[in-house]
Amino acid sequence: MSTATPATRPLKVALAMAADVGRKVFPPQRLATVTGPLNLLSPEPITDFSAPEAKRLLAEADVLLTGWGCPMIDGAVLDAAPRLQYVLHAGGSPKHHVGAECWDRGIQVSTAADANAIPVAEYTLAMILLATKRVLQIARELHRARAAVDPEGLFPDMGNYGKRVGIIGASKIGRHVIHLLKSYELEVVLADPFVTPEQAAALGVELVELEELMETSDVVSLHAPSLPATRHMIDAGQIARLRPGATFINTSRGELVDQDALLLRLEEGELYAVLDVTTPWVLPTDSGFYTNPNVLLTPHLAGSLGTELERLAASAIDEAYRAARGEALRFPVKAEELAFTA
């Protein structure tokens, strides 16, 4: 049997993203892996496609490794980049910087959204387990009492065995959360209008209507994309369906939730929330979410941060190596998919 290594072709690579993003996502140790058939034209990212240095790099580049803050890649940019074949995004959706002209001209586009889903799913898993164990509430009581507390006296229903977890949205993150939850003896249900019962069964979950999910779940975790059609999909009516003692987790986007209705329900004292995202991103100083004892707020912490950012770079660089070997991209993005992604 032949063990010959697939033939590779040299590809010239340029970076395009905000300067601070480049420093965080593509630090020197990660750029050092762009070698062999990949020729990195410059360690400094393009931040303005109209700059003279950018035009020089575009004229030579076969591959653009992009990140957050990349300028729009439109027809004019493509005219200045006659060799360009690939736009490989070291982030989630490329919809904010990849114009339709890229697909029209046959440019192959990929995303590191799968890599970015991992820390969000890990955060979500941690919060689900903390919620069903009532860790945050019991810890808060211990801080308040500064004396012995009786966890089961406070929460007779505490524990991670047999609880129902409702996942809203079989997105990349939602699916990864489902995968992680398989290690636990929890009942997991899914609400997603674009998933069939057979597809849900293949994921190992039961497909239910959103109303049933909201009414019967001990923990509800939101993983739907932010689109005009999903604004306030969790409205006052859905929030009212949440059972007393339930925990609502949002790592998606704040605009998917009627935050005023959520806060009103939280102020009744029988609901809990873990909010990693809000609208606006930074709430006003007088927001009741800051002071409500049943709310855990985190500053968009779930996504890739710190060392996790290099996972995004590694994913994009791996795509570049696949391109150099003449292999299909692992995470291609099609133009028609952008209307359904965040």
Residue 228 sits in a domain whose CATH number is: 3.40.50.720
Nearest to 25 by CA among 115, 101, 135: 115
Residue 177 resides in a domain: yes
**Whether 263 and 331 share a structural domain:** no
Residue 2 resides in a domain: no
Residue 35 resides in a domain: yes
**Whether 264 and 122 share a structural domain:** yes
Query: Could you tell me the two tokens for 95?
Result: 């919809």
**Which residues lie closer than 8 Å to 159 by C-beta, 6 or more apart?**
132, 133
Residue 6 resides in a domain: no
Element (H, E) at 239: helix 236-241
Residue 55 resides in a domain: yes
**Whether 317 and 255 share a structural domain:** no
**Whether 98 and 146 share a structural domain:** no
| Residue range of the domain that includes 320 | 11-111+306-340
pLDDT at 339: 66
Residue 1 resides in a domain: no
**Whether 313 and 286 share a structural domain:** no
Count Cα neighbours of 158 within 13 Å in the Cβ-side half-sphere: 14
Residue 5 resides in a domain: no
**Whether 252 and 287 share a structural domain:** yes
Neighbours of 267 (CB within 10 A): 13
**Whether 129 and 209 share a structural domain:** yes
User: How far is it, in rounded angstroms, from Cα 50 to Cα 45?
Assistant: 13
**Whether 69 and 171 share a structural domain:** no
Structural domains of the chain, count: 2
Residue 53 resides in a domain: yes
Q: In the sheet where 295-297 sits, what is the strand order?
A: 206-207, 187-191, 164-168, 219-222, 247-250, 272-275, 295-297
Nearest to 298 by CA among 342, 254, 341: 254
User: How far is it, in rounded angstroms, from Cα 24 to Cα 305?
Assistant: 9
What is the DSSP annotation of 192-208? -TT--HHHHHHHTSEE-
- pLDDT by residue for the chain (342 residues), tens only, comes to 444 455 789 999 999 999 999 999 999 999 999 999 999 999 999 999 999 999 999 999 999 999 999 999 999 999 999 999 999 999 998 988 999 999 999 999 999 999 999 999 999 999 999 999 999 999 999 999 999 999 999 999 999 999 999 999 999 999 999 999 999 999 999 999 999 999 999 999 999 999 999 999 999 999 999 889 999 999 999 999 999 999 999 999 999 999 999 999 999 999 999 999 999 999 999 999 999 999 999 999 999 999 999 999 999 999 999 999 999 999 999 988 776 666
What is the DSSP annotation of 148-180? ---HHHH-TT-SSSS-EEEEE--SHHHHHHHHH
**Whether 68 and 127 share a structural domain:** no
Query: Could you tell me the two tokens for 26?
Result: 């593509």
pLDDT at 1: 46
Cis-peptide, bond into residue 280, ω within 30° of zero = yes
**Whether 40 and 142 share a structural domain:** no
Nearest to 175 by CA among 227, 113, 239: 113
**Whether 51 and 132 share a structural domain:** no
Sort 225 into a burial class: Cβ within 10 Å, 0-12 / 13-18 / 19+: middle
Query: Could you tell me the two tokens for 79?
Result: 């005219």
pTM: 0.91
SS3 249: strand
**Whether 163 and 47 share a structural domain:** no
